[in-house]
Amino acid sequence: MPSDLLATRQRILSGEWTASRAVDDAIARARSPAGRDAYVFPRFDEARAEAARFDRETTLAARRPLAGLPFSVKDLFDVEGQVTAAGSTVLVDHPAATADCPAVARLRAAGGSLIGRTHMVEFAFSGMGTNPHVATPAAWDGRHDRPVGSHDTPRVPGGSSSGAAVSVATGAAFIGLGSDTGGSIRIPAALNGIVGFKNTASRVPTAGAVPLSTTLDTVCALTRSVRDAILAHEILAARTVTLSPAPLSAYRLAVARTVMLDALEPAVARAFERSLATLRAAGAQIDEIGLNETAELAGIQATGGFSAAESYAWHRELLATRAKDYDPRVATRIRRGATMMAHEYLDLLQARQRWIRSMGLALRGYDAVLSPTVPILAPLLADVAPATGTDPAADTARDEAFFRANALLLRNTSVVNMLDGCALSLPCHTPDELPVGLMIWHAAGRDDPVLNIGLRIEELLQIQ
């Protein structure tokens, strides 16, 4: 596995490495077969120049937490001088951004070298990671630094922050800036064997990012370790995480039986149960609870949910004139928002608040909940690839497989977004298994306990 950010930073400060060497290594990985489709707009020469500045100014590197190390940016965010295309062809002729969005500006101010914009699902509206406009990067196991499956049978990287995940998993970036509306950070983290932290949504400004759902959108990042996730969060949220030396046995944890454990693929179930056994053997207090409230979400969102309604409000004029240029799968999901009535949207807002209160009561006394991040392994890319138009029957079969798998990928993670909560996904698979993610989650404002618990769990699972 490529080195994590904090370890590499220490090597730079000790004189063993330079920022330029780290950037050159990331560029080589980005140009390799594993990483080449992760970036849609490379910025390699500029990243080299930025890293060289930190090589020359060693005191500056010591003061900046990223010390010239490379980070990637999902094609959703404004970068000064670049068009924010959001994975589409619809926006490519729009004016370039006149300034960095707050998230990019904070990573730069922390000393990061921006290495490029990454592949994403068009307008961030899917958990699969495919995009018909550009080649989709194959999933890469960042925990064991190898392909997921084989080169001949590539698997989807997860989405919508697909390229961000692959850039981190392959070592082509130390931080992948992305967004999470229903799981778009945690799904690709799980499928690529890396760490994804979805902070409480209000912690990081969403300004300068093309919206999917103004209610649910969250700006956050992918990394290769929980320690790096904490650092990335501190930079993006402009806050300090309160770290605790408490052992895992000091926390009271829950496993939610309802919804979260339904229809698990056998490999996911094995990895999850093995992880729980490892944690219990180390003294963790883990209770199984019903948490029946999670089963209520299907009814609450029966009219389409926030993403459909709020994305349609943003896209309706573009759809009226440029519908043929959209990914048909994305356009189908956006158009569902056109049928939502005003009273249904207001009912959804009120139902969500009631549900959040009910969940708060159910989770009272617990420090975090443990769940599989997603219930399935990464699907084969060939089974869900975008339509080609040459074989209608095959296109229909892939569309059906896509929507079935997409619903499963989003099922567990989207619970946390509706809760306005925070969640961490970290890998829990062994070298002979495909990537599986363990999700640690709770309600809004519980970011620090979730991250501290994640540190303890990561330490234990690393020896599996």
- What residues are annotated to the active site? 74, 160, 184
What is the SS3 assignment for 196?
strand
- Nearest-angstrom CA–CA distance, 17 and 13: 8
Would you say 83 and 96 are in contact if contact means Cβ atoms under 8 Å apart? yes
d(CA 400, CA 393): 11
Q: Report the distance separating Cα 311 and Cα 369, nearest Å.
A: 30
Closest-CA residue to 24 (of 3, 53, 40, 45): 45
User: Could you tell me the two tokens for 143?
Assistant: 């925990």
Beta bridge partners of 117: 41, 73
Q: How far apart are CA 76 and CA 211, in angstroms?
A: 8
What is the residue type of 207?
A: A
Helix (H, G, I), strand (E, B) or coil at 205: coil
Taking Cα atoms as reference points, which of 428, 455, 433 lies closest to residue 372?
A: 428
Pairing between β-strand 146-147 and β-strand 285-289 as defined by DSSP bridges: unpaired
DSSP string, 384-450: HPPP-SS-HHHHHHHHHHHHHHHHHHHHHHHHHHHTT-EEEEEE---TTS---EEEEEESTT-HHHH
156-333-401 Cα angle (round to 5): 40
Provide the 3-class DSSP secondary structure of residue 279.
helix
Q: What pairing do the DSSP bridges indicate for beta strands 285-289 and 70-74?
A: unpaired
Radius of gyration, CA atoms only, the chain: 21
Residue 251, amino acid: Y
C-alpha 378/C-alpha 39 separation (Å) is 20
CB 5 within 8 A of CB 231: yes
Helix axis angle, 44-56 to 19-31, nearest 10°: 160
Instruction: Return the SS3 of 262.
Output: coil
Helix (H, G, I), strand (E, B) or coil at 194: coil
